[in-house]
């Protein structure tokens, strides 16, 4: 969460006193009929109340009672290539911003751009998932939640992620492979079917469906916006609670 800065507290104090002091000046003038006395009372009240308000705010910042820390969580999107993981993940990330939760967005494409020599064999993918797990764990140690989207086709790698991180929420973005092919604006399914891409999940390599996903999104039924709302509601119920 964000910490209230000194300048923000002072500005809030002045903004509130602007309204309150105007009321005081009017009341004093109505009762005594003296503008000089009304203005003097307003100035004295403004200075004293701003200082008292600032002190009051700083004292309450030190009081832990009534505060509840949001435990970091990991939202893990998995599904076939072109199932809609990244699209829904981006929408969820944007919707969660209004809760001012420290968060990071992690997408498989961004990671592979940073580390281009990652292979696609089962061993390579599992090793890669362990790297991602360590990254998420490090972020969580700094109270940062994550929204991650990876094909992550193997159950053992998803299990490893679950064991490595806290509050892991698996979102299975379910889509028929024919629908994924229809969404294939990159042409990767065409290349995989032609044998140009090996170890491609759903074509020449397996995709093992999650058996214990916390959320299942059927993209034949829900739009990306509707799916994002379902996921945010789940997080509000189980993790955010503010």
40-60 burial code (b ≥16 CB/10 A, e <16)? ebbeebbeebbeebbeebeee
Same-domain status, 54 and 173: no
106: in domain:
yes
How many residues belong to the chain?
A: 242
pTM for this entry: 0.74
Same-domain status, 146 and 201: yes
Domain at 222, CATH number:
3.40.50.300
57: in domain:
yes
Same-domain status, 151 and 173: yes
- Domain around 122: 74-240
CA distance 186 to 167: 33
The pLDDT value recorded for residue 66 is: 63
Q: Which two tokens stand for residue 196?
A: 């140009």
Same-domain status, 104 and 173: yes
- Catalytically active residues are 152
67: in domain:
no
CA distance 166 to 27: 57
Classify the phi-psi angles of 169: left when phi > 0, otherwise alpha if psi is within -120 to 50, otherwise beta.
Answer: beta
The pLDDT value recorded for residue 77 is: 98
Which parts of the chain have pLDDT scores under 70?
Answer: 1-4, 17, 64-69, 242
H-assigned helices in the chain: 6-32, 35-61, 85-96, 108-114, 122-141, 155-164, 177-182, 188-193, 224-235
The pLDDT value recorded for residue 65 is: 66
Number of structural domains the chain divides into: 2
Same-domain status, 99 and 143: yes
180: in domain:
yes
- Sort 209 into a burial class: Cβ within 10 Å, 0-12 / 13-18 / 19+: middle
1: in domain:
no
């Amino acid at each position: 969460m964000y910490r209230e800065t000194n300048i923000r507290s002072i500005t809030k104090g002045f903004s509130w006193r602007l309204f309150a002091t105007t009321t005081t000046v009017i009341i004093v003038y109505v009762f005594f009929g003296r503008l000089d006395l009304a203005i003097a009372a307003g100035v004295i009240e403004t200075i004293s109340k701003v200082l008292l308000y600032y002190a009051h705010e700083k004292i309450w910042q030190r009081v832990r009672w009534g505060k509840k820390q949001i435990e970091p969580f990991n939202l893990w999107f998995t599904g076939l290539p072109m199932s809609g993981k990244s699209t829904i993940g981006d929408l969820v990330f944007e919707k969660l911003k209004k809760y001012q939760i420290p968060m990071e967005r992690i997408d498989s494409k961004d990671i592979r751009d940073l580390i281009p020599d990652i292979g696609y064999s089962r061993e390579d993918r599992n090793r890669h998932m362990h790297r991602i797990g360590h990254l998420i764990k490090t972020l969580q140690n700094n109270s940062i939640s994550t929204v991650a989207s990876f094909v992550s086709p193997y159950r053992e790698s998803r299990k490893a992620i679950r064991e490595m991180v806290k509050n892991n929420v698996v979102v299975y973005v379910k889509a028929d492979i024919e629908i994924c092919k229809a969404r294939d604006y990159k042409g990767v399914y065409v290349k995989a079917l032609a044998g140009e891409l090996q170890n491609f999940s759903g074509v020449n390599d397996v995709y093992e469906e999650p058996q214990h996903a916390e959320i299942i999104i059927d993209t034949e039924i829900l739009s990306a916006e509707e799916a994002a709302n379902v996921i945010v509601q789940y997080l509000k119920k189980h993790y955010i609670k503010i």
